[in-house]
Amino acid sequence: EMSTGIASSLQLLSSSFSFPLSTYTSQATMKNIASKLRLLFLYLIACEAYSTRPIHSVVVVGGTHGNEYTGVWCIKQLEANPGETEKYDSLNIKTLLANPEAFMANRRFIHDDLNRQFSAAKLSIDPDGTHEAERARQLDELLGPKLGEPKTDLVIDLHTTTSNMGITLIVPETDVVMTQAAAYVLEKCENAFGDRAQILMHPLPDRHARPNLGSTAMHGLTIEVGPVPQGVLRHDAVEKTQHAMHCLLEFLDRRNKGEDVLGELKRKYPDNVVPCYRSAQAKKPGEMSGKISWPSADHNPNFPSVLIHKSIQDKDFQIIKRGDPLFVNLDGSLIRYDGSHGDEVHLIFVNEGGYYFEQSGTGIGVA
C-alpha cells in the first residue's frame, strides 16, 4: 500500500502544516514515484515558523533497553570526555542511563518494555506495579512532563537491533525539525559508511499518543544501529552511532547559530524531498508500529514456533510480495506472506531480538 501510504502521509502532515505540494498533487503521479523508487517521500520544508524555534536542552539516552550496550557505551564515552559535547556551545547536553536495573541484569527490561510506557494515557493511570511503569514516571518528571511544558527540547535515544537495519534514524510523523535533522544526518552517514542509512517515520502524529521514551521531550529522535547482538559491544556499531549522534548535534548547533543549514539541505536534495520509510500503523498492544506477527510456542510466549525464512533474513528495507516465503514450521513446511499488510511491503526489523518478547510486540516490522 505504497501509494496509499504517501497519500495518507501527506494528508496527515498537511492537516498540521502547510506544504508546497506544487508538482506532486495527483494520486497518479504519486503512485508512479512510489512504484519507481519504492520509497515514501517526505517533504523537507514545511511550516517555517515552527521549524526555526531553537533547540537548546538535549539529553542523550542509552540503555532504554538494558541489553543494548552500544548506547550505554556512547553515554559513558560522552561523560568521560566532556570536550565532545562542550564544543556544541549553543547546546546544553546531558546524558542519561534510562534503565540502570535492566542494564545491570543484561536484560532488555525487568518486567516490561520501558519504551512502551510513555503515552499520556498510560502515564495518567495508576502504575501497574512493574519496574518500568515506575521508572517511566520518574523519567517523565525528569525529562518531560509529557502533559505540560517539557523541560527537555530533545531526547536522542540510542538503540541497537539484531536485525540488519544499518543506521536508521527514526522520527515521529509531523516533526518537521527532526525530519530536517534526519535528512542532514542521513546524507553525512551515507558519505561516511556507504549506503546503509535511512529515515524511518513512525505514524504517530500526536506526541501525547506516542509510547516511546523520547516522546516525553518536545522532540525525540532515535538512532537505531544494527545488526548488533543483544548484550554485546561492537566497535563498528559504536562508531556509527557516535557519528550519527555528532552529525545531529552539529545540525542543531549550526541551526541555533543561524547558519543556513536548511539552504544546504535544499542544495543536497534539489527536489525538496527526502527519501523516507513510513512504518505501518500499530495494531496490537505493545507495538510501536504494525508487524507481521508470528505464532509462539504453547509453553513459552517468547519463543517463536516458526523460523523466519532464510530468504528474508538480513533483508531489511527490501520488498516481500504476497506468496513469498515468510516462516518455516517445525515440520519444515512453509508459511507464505498472505498480503495482510498489502500485496508488497517493505520488511523492517527482520528478526529483531527484542521482538521475541510479547511485551515488545512479537513479529517482523512492516513499512
- Interacting residue ranges for a copy of itself, rule: CB under 8 A: 69, 72-73, 76-77, 80-81, 103-104, 106-107, 162, 227, 229-236, 238-239, 297, 300, 302-304, 307-310, 313, 328, 330-331, 351, 353, 356-357
Which residue, 14 or 302, has its beta carbon nearer to a copy of itself?
302
Q: How far is CA 193 from CA 14, 187, 240, 267, 300, in A?
A: 34, 10, 8, 21, 39
Task: Pick the closest to residue 323 from 307, 334, 308, 310 (CA basis).
Answer: 334
In the bound complex, what is the minimum distance in angstroms from residue 305's beta carbon to a copy of itself? 9
In the bound complex, what is the minimum distance in angstroms from residue 221's beta carbon to a copy of itself? 24
Beta pairing, strands 334-336 & 325-328: antiparallel
Which residue, 199 or 238, has its beta carbon nearer to a copy of itself?
238
Which residue, 151 or 309, has its beta carbon nearer to a copy of itself?
309
Task: Pick the closest to residue 68 from 137, 134, 165, 195 (CA basis).
Answer: 165
Which residue, 178 or 228, has its beta carbon nearer to a copy of itself?
228
Q: How far is CA 227 from CA 73, 119, 186, 306, in A?
A: 16, 28, 18, 21
In the bound complex, what is the minimum distance in angstroms from residue 165's beta carbon to a copy of itself? 13
Which residue, 39 or 102, has its beta carbon nearer to a copy of itself?
102
In the bound complex, what is the minimum distance in angstroms from residue 347's beta carbon to a copy of itself? 14
Q: How many helices (H) and strands (E) does the chain have?
A: 11, 17
| Single-letter code of the amino acid located at 96 | L
In the bound complex, what is the minimum distance in angstroms from residue 307's beta carbon to a copy of itself? 5
What is d(CA 327, CA 30) in angstroms, rounded to the nearest whole number?
32
> Cis link prior to 145 (omega < 30° from 0)?
yes
